[in-house]
Amino acid sequence: MLSYKIKEIIKEALLEDMNNGDITTDNLVDENSRTKAEIKVKEDGVIAGVDIAKEVFKYLDKNISFEKKRADGDKVTKDTVIATLEGSTRAILSAERTALNILQRLSGIATKTSIFVEKVNGYNCRVVDTRKTTPGLRMLEKYAVRVGGGHNHRFNLSDSVMIKDNHIKAAGGIEEAVNIIKAKIPHTIKVEVEVEDLNQLNEALKSGADIIMLDNMECEDMKKAVSINKGRAILEASGNIELDTIERVAQTGVDIISSGGLTHSVKALDISLNIVY
């Protein structure tokens, strides 16, 4: 990840939490006070964001000592200490919530992604995220998906072409939309088309789409789509992909399974910071 972008995110998060200082800590704790603390997980999961949490503390005091006990991608159990830190009490207390918010959210995403990936282990498909991320945190959340063993879809609207249902309506049809877009974009950019049924699939194949998203299709239709496609385009399954359905989707033979649920409705992993002395 880009270090300057991480610092920018941390700065904005700290400003949001303490735009005019920490009125409690600044008036309660002596500026020369030093303390040692530990960061501990309170439930099983996959850790993501340890180094980012470290940078949150160091943003307030570069002299804070931060020792990682676990690294991103590690599977941990309840009560595991993932880091210890020592330094300015004021800086530790003021940075605590911002650091934990990031660490908990990213670890929650990594944990959920790892469970999804494990469900399709052995199938020849990738689990990928979507653009359904928290505004301002997309870089971090997509990183957490990778930590959990998943892959990233396009990062933003500038990355690649995705012709969705409303684009198709605006252009007058799938073939028309693909022809218009291919005449205007560089040859290095792939074109993805969203389809809702097998008739649209055939239209997308005829148009020369590189990737075809099977949107909210039943598994039987996905199997037929794989048979019709014959490897010509990359097939992506999307729409209400959950833990209890993802394996059935993988069994259809699609290449990609995308799920917005990896990021938009994830439960944060329960993690706490406790002062040791």
Choosing from 68, 69, 97, 146, which is the catalytic residue? 97
Q: Confirm whether 30 is a catalytic residue.
A: no
- d(CA 31, CA 212) in angstroms, rounded, equals 59
Choosing from 69, 132, 146, 223, which is the catalytic residue? 132
Q: Confirm whether 141 is a catalytic residue.
A: no
Choosing from 96, 129, 192, 194, which is the catalytic residue? 194
Choosing from 44, 51, 210, 215, which is the catalytic residue? 215
Choosing from 68, 70, 138, 164, which is the catalytic residue? 164
User: 161-163 and 81-88: which strand pairing?
Assistant: unpaired
Q: Which two tokens stand for residue 192?
A: 């993805």
Q: Confirm whether 90 is a catalytic residue.
A: no
Q: Confirm whether 164 is a catalytic residue.
A: yes
As beta bridge partners, residue 69 has none
Q: Confirm whether 58 is a catalytic residue.
A: no
Q: Are 33 and 89 in contact (CB under 8 A)?
A: yes
Which residues are the active-site residues?
97, 132, 164, 194, 215
